[in-house]
Every structure is written in structure tokens, then in C-alpha cells.
Structure 1
């Protein structure tokens, strides 16, 4: 008599190699992206951004031109090799958040993945910061990367808007955007100060202090464990064309920046 099949055991065996192969491929991809980025930054520093070509970057990394374009669309994109993977990690933090955690605290934990990315290679990060200050195209690429994090956090906060805190209005899009922007602003304020100090200092403590200021300024209006409803289908469905403009000195203390944003909200 033939023995019955054991699909669960067979499936477990077939899944393991696929998972391992996928992890290995992702690690190799990131390794190559970082090598290309390192080659690009070295050439930008020695030859100048405008004088450096994609062919030279590929040659310096020991790969063909087509390999470069499998990883990056342009030479300015090569200066930021880790943002795609960091964005995935930040989103994973939001997805796995405990149901009783304040949504703004979750977002603060998510943006810490960006700081960890920079802190993993301080010397490289400091050099990249110097280059982005000197090359407008790189600065624009950096701004585009920041906007991706803000959109991710805005969508998350929209799903956790507390309607009991705000009645008789349509505050969700503006509040979520401003709160997400405040978290990113606080993070970047600490990050730039750390980079200007040569990548030295207790950046974790500085971040926690900055996030405390954000929480005190923008912590109301969001509820832990909130879920989308039929009336409030969430994140991507709600949009707004409103734009909030607040002006502050780049070297202003963070609490002053937060007060400026709050004042702008009151006058909006």
C-alpha cells in the first residue's frame, strides 16, 4: 500500500532554500550598491561631480556600465544607496507596531532607521553630507528621499486620526502632514548637527530629546489602535492641496522650530 503524501514537510523543505537564496540576493544587491556609491563619492571628491561619468564610476567599482544601471538610474542616485532598504525597514516598524503604542511614538521609532543607516558608516555619511552641500543635484536627490519618508509617515498617521479630538472639521490631512513633517524635521535637525560634528556624539539621546519636543507639540489628535472606518477609509484616500509654510533659521533650536510651525498652524 502506498504511503500518504506529507505536503507540509515537503513544502517546508522547498521554502527554506528559496528564502535563503532571496536573503543572499538582497545582501549581494546592497553590497554592490554600496560599492558603487563609495566609488562615486570618491570620484566626486577628487574629480568633481560634473566631471565624473557613469563609466568612470562603474570602472572604479570593477563592474560594467550595464551593471551600474541595474542598480541606479543616474550618478546622483548612486550617492544614496541605502534609502530604498531603509524605507522598507521603517515601514516594517509601522506595520509591527504594538496596538497600544502612541502612533507618533511609532513614527519616531520608524525614522530612527534612517539615523541607524547614517550611523553605521559615520565617515562615509560625513563625506556624503559635505558633497550634498556642494552639489545642487545631490541636494535635490536628498530632498526627494526625505519626501518619501514624510509620505510614509503621513499615511500611517492618517490611519490613526482620533475623531473624538477633532469635531466639526476636516483636520486629518493637515494634522497628519504637519506631525509627520515635524518628526522628520526633528530627526534631520539632530542628524545635521551630528554630521557637522564629524559623526561624533550621543545621537540616540539627542534624538529622544528632539522627539519629546515633537510629542509635546503634536501628540494630540492621534489614537493608539485606531482603525479605518467606512466614513474614514484611511491613508491614501484622503488628500489635501493645502500647503503650510513656516520659516525658521537653519541653526535655530528645535523647540523654536516647533513653535514656529505651531504659530503658522494657528494663523492658517
Structure 2
């Protein structure tokens, strides 16, 4: 079982994140009382007790201010990918990576629900949210593409397409569960709901994923090999091979027999 990834945080980075959150809280308070359009950057800075220039050291615009944690969360997701065990299926790694986003929302359910309501009402905020989601999708697509053998690519090879679609599917599954959880007031076991959604994605896109390079256990050899000999299927697997990889190997051998 892989260990939880921890991202080292310096006093300076912690202070920066705290200031971003303070500015975000001030922005949310003003948006709720005055309305988004009527609120100015100067008012947000004043409510947070800082100067206007301090606001712009942290955010480029007032719509960006209500998403203070995405930069930090993106780095945590990247750290999950970087520390992934060699035997883990790349799609499972990506699912673990995007859980960092869910943790961000789940850390403050009430605030997340209010932010969700606000983004539904203000097009500029919705556009900012979409831009944030696209950053995660690009990160995961690059990761999945990195687990294919570029030398094996040829005309008609669907591996790059599969990587992009699979990354999109993981993000879409996450966002579907997140929106449903937020519409329900931020209550319920959202992690269990997320795992169920990821199971569907894994079942749809996991079989044959990365077949061009073979599945490995991290010990330098294949996790499992299977071959059909007449009416007999012979399977050889390492004792540490993940069960789902063994089953996928058997399924592929049966289809080819």
C-alpha cells in the first residue's frame, strides 16, 4: 500500500497560503453582502486589513480571489504523481492525485457550498473555475502520456488518445461527484462516492491501458504473463502482482486465443 504523499511547506509558503485564504474570505464576505459586481479590489484588501498592492501580489483579479488553494492543491497532486509506486496502474495514480482536489473542498464544506452557489451565479467566476479544472486535466494527461512507449507509436495507435480521454474521464468523474455533494449541502461520505465513480472509470479505461509497454511490478519484470495452449490457459504471475493486472492479462490472453 502506498504511503500518503506529504508536501513540505516552508514558513513563507504557509504564510502566503494564509494570506491568500484571508483575502478569499474577505472577498466571499463582500460578494455575499454587496454582490460580486459592486465589490472592488480596494474593498477586499481593506476588509482583509492589507494594502491594494498586497492583494495583487497574490491574485491578478477579484474573481481569482475566491480560489485561493488551487495552486497549492495542484502541487500536491503533482507530488502524488511523482511519488507513485512503480507497480501502481497509472490510472489509479491519477485518481489518487485528483483526490487532493476533493480534500481541498471537503476541508471546508460550508465555505465550498457557498463558493459553489456563487460560481453558478457569476459567469466570470464560472470561467475561472473551468480554467482551474483545465490545469489538472493537462497535468494528468501528461502523466498518462509519459507511461506509454513513444517508440511503439505508429499510425493508428490510439495510446495518446486513450491517455487524453482517460485523464478527462477522471476529472469529469471527480467533478460530477463534487457537484452532487455540493448541491446536497456538502454532507455525506464524498470519498466513498468518489471511489465508486473511479471504479467505473477504471473498468471502462483500465483494461489494456499501457499495453504497448507491458505491465510491470516495479521489480523489473512483467507482473503477469498468460498464453493459450489449445484449450488450456497458462498464467504465470509474481506473488506481488496486483490482482487486477493478473485478471487483465488473463482477459487479454482469452481474447487472443
Give TM-score scaled by structure 1 length: 0.73
Task: State the number of aligned residues.
Answer: 207
Distance 1:106 1:224, change over 3 A: farther
Aligned to 1:86: 73
Asked whether the equivalents of residues 157 and 176 of structure 1 are also in contact (C-alpha less than 8 Å), the reply is: yes
Does residue 1:38 correspond to 2:38, yes or no?
A: no
In structure 2, how many angstroms separate the alpha carbons of the residues matched to 1:72 and 1:143? Answer: 17
Aligned to 1:172: 159
In structure 1, how many angstroms separate the alpha carbons of the residues matched to 2:125 and 2:101? Answer: 17
Does residue 1:149 correspond to 2:136, yes or no?
A: yes
Match of 2:148 among 158, 161, 185: 161
Match of 1:56 among 38, 43, 46: 43
Aligned to 2:185: 198
> SS of the counterpart of 2:27?
helix
Match of 2:209 among 196, 216, 221: 221
Distance 1:56 1:145, change over 3 A: same
> How do 1:101-180 residues align onto structure 2 when only pairs under 5 Å count?
101-161=88-148, 169-180=156-167
Instruction: Give structure 2 stretches of 5+ with no counterpart.
Output: 1-7, 218-257
In structure 1, how many angstroms separate the alpha carbons of the residues matched to 2:151 and 2:178? Answer: 35
Deviation by residue 1:86-123 (Cα, 9 ceiling, x = unmatched): 00000000000000000000000000000000000111
Give TM-score scaled by structure 2 length: 0.76
> 1:172 Cα shift?
2.7
> 1:169 Cα shift?
1.9
Structure holding more strand per residue? 2
Higher relative contact order (CA closer than 8 Å, sequence separation 6+) = 1
Q: Please, what is the CA RMSD of the aligned residues?
A: 2.2
> 1:174 Cα shift?
1.6
Distance 1:50 1:101, change over 3 A: same
Instruction: Give structure 1 stretches of 5+ with no counterpart.
Output: 1-19, 227-268
Aligned to 1:258: none
> 1:49 Cα shift?
0.7
Aligned to 2:5: none
In structure 2, how many angstroms separate the alpha carbons of the residues matched to 1:167 and 1:210? Answer: 32
